[in-house]
Amino acid sequence: MKTLQQRTLTALVAAALCVAGAAQAAAPMVKNPAPGYSRIMLGKFEITPLSDGTVDLPVQDLLAQDVKKTSATLAAAHLKTPVETSDNAYLVNTGTKLVLIDSGAGTFFGPTLGKLVASMKAAGYQPDQVDEIYITHFHGDHIGGLVSNSAAVFPKAVVRANKLESDYWLSQANMEKSKDKDSFKGAQAALGPYVKAGRFKAFEGDIELVPGIRSQLASGHTPGHTTYMVESGGQKLHVIGDLIHVAAVQMENPDITIQFDNDQKAAAAPRKKVFDAAAKGGYMIGGAHLQFPGMGYLRNEGKGYRFIPVNYTQMR
């Protein structure tokens, strides 16, 4: 038989446990994705990295090196295949022009990608504000976002790319002799509405497209793969497209190529040339497949490089 005091104590303990239990269950996990944009100033330019989402890549089967070696390198970076891989684009507001570099995958690669427009809206911009779009190359994860249901997603933008790239992918003859017809069809579907409306303008050579943004041919990954150097107030950001896919492996060993490279022999050379210049020049790079926001600095280390992610800064 419990005394009154004992009974009161038991009741209090039970009540306290109840409250604790209720508090633990009260807030359900949200689990929606973090905002798909970041923001940094580059001189007078505002740079908004945009996430198109991520895609799982079976990199062990894709990289041109021994599977066991890849596996060990990934493990050292706390990764395993398939590696959840970012797909990034970069929005540059120069103060007079709004320029988007690459457009994400749209519907071309399944539901984990195609989030660029949502990221752009969350960042405070609308697709109809984009004046120009510079494409690094015509693979689906960079051009698929140009279209939705066969219509242009960016109703006022002029799309620009190196002529070597558009001549290659928009050629019927090249498609007919290729084993990878889907990539050609994708390129034609993505660019089609812009070509039809007279809003696709190829360029030749390395040129300044708007004040502060220059194209730089870096072929190998694709015939007209192009990077874009963004420069304002003495600060530089080199948007490097697909010069690298798997940072955990290719930073340390930049000679390793990936199956996505059209010309695997030629793909490693521009990676090293552009990375060496960035390390020497001490300026930022922005990579489509470096983990979002994909921006940072490079330092030479051994036979390769160390990637130093850019410090987080908030707008003030």
What residues are paired with 230 via a beta bridge? 213, 237
Task: Please give the DSSP secondary-structure letter assigned to residue 144.
Answer: G
Q: Which is nearer to Zn ion, 47 or 290 (CB)?
A: 290
Size of the site for Zn ion (CB under 5 A): 2
Q: Which is nearer to Zn ion, 231 or 242 (CB)?
A: 242
Closest distance between Zn ion and the C-beta of residue 177, in Å? Answer: 23
Q: Which is nearer to Zn ion, 175 or 246 (CB)?
A: 246
Could you say whether residue 141 binds Zn ion (CB under 5 A)?
Answer: yes
The answer to whether the beta carbons of residues 238 and 280 sit under 8 Å apart is: no
Closest distance between Zn ion and the C-beta of residue 141, in Å? Answer: 4
| Full DSSP string of 96-120 | S-EEEE----TTTT-TTS--HHHHH
Closest distance between Zn ion and the C-beta of residue 140, in Å? Answer: 8
| Residues from 4 through 33 that contact Zn ion (CB under 5 A) | none
Closest distance between Zn ion and the C-beta of residue 204, in Å? Answer: 23
CA neighbor of 294 nearest in space, from 33, 31, 37, 34: 37
Give the range of 13-21, 94-102, 141-149, 151-159 binding Zn ion by CB under 5 A.
Answer: 141-149
| Residues from 222 through 281 that contact Zn ion (CB under 5 A) | 242
For 279, phi then psi, to 5°, come to -65, -45
Closest distance between Zn ion and the C-beta of residue 258, in Å? Answer: 10
Task: Count Cβ atoms within 10 A of the Cβ of residue 76 and give its class: 0-12 exposed, 13-18 middle, 19 or more buried.
Answer: exposed
Structure tokens at 185: 């069809």
What does the binding site for Zn ion look like in residue numbers (CB under 5 A)? 141, 242
